[in-house]
Amino acid sequence: MHVNVQLRFNSATGQEAPYYRLKESYRDVRGHVHSLIVLNIGFEPCLKPLQVKRIARALTMRFQHRHHGSLFPENKDGLSHEERLFAERYWQRMLAKGRITCSI
C-alpha cells in the first residue's frame, strides 16, 4: 500500500488541507498498472504526511503477514503510540469495509 495525498478544500476548516488515501497498485494480465483505493482516510489534521506514510508501511507489513500472527513484538514497527492507534483504526475500517480479509 502507498499513500496518495491531495490538497483539497476542507469545508470544516474553510482551507485547503491534505486529503489522504491508501492505495494499492497492481498489474493486470496484460501488464497494465492499476490502482485500487483501499481506504479513503480523508482529512487528518493531527497527522503529518510522513506519519501517514509510516502508518501505510506498517499496514502493508501487517497485511503481508496477517496469517502469521505478530511479526514483531510491540513497538518494533517504528510507529509512535499515536500512529499505532491510527493504524489500528484504519485496519479495522478496511476489515469492516471488506477491503482486506484476514481469513486463510
Helix (H) / strand (E) containing 12? none
Look up the pTM and report it. 0.77
The mean pLDDT value of the chain amounts to 86
Place of cell 496518495: 4
Handedness of CA 9, 58, 81, 50 (dihedral sign): negative
For the chain, the structural domain boundaries read: 2-96
The DSSP symbol for 81 reads H
What are the tens digits of pLDDT across the range 85-104? 999 999 999 988 887 766 54
More confident residue, 95 or 72: 95
What are the tens digits of pLDDT across the range 24-50? 888 999 999 999 899 999 999 999 989
Percent of the chain with pLDDT over 90: 58
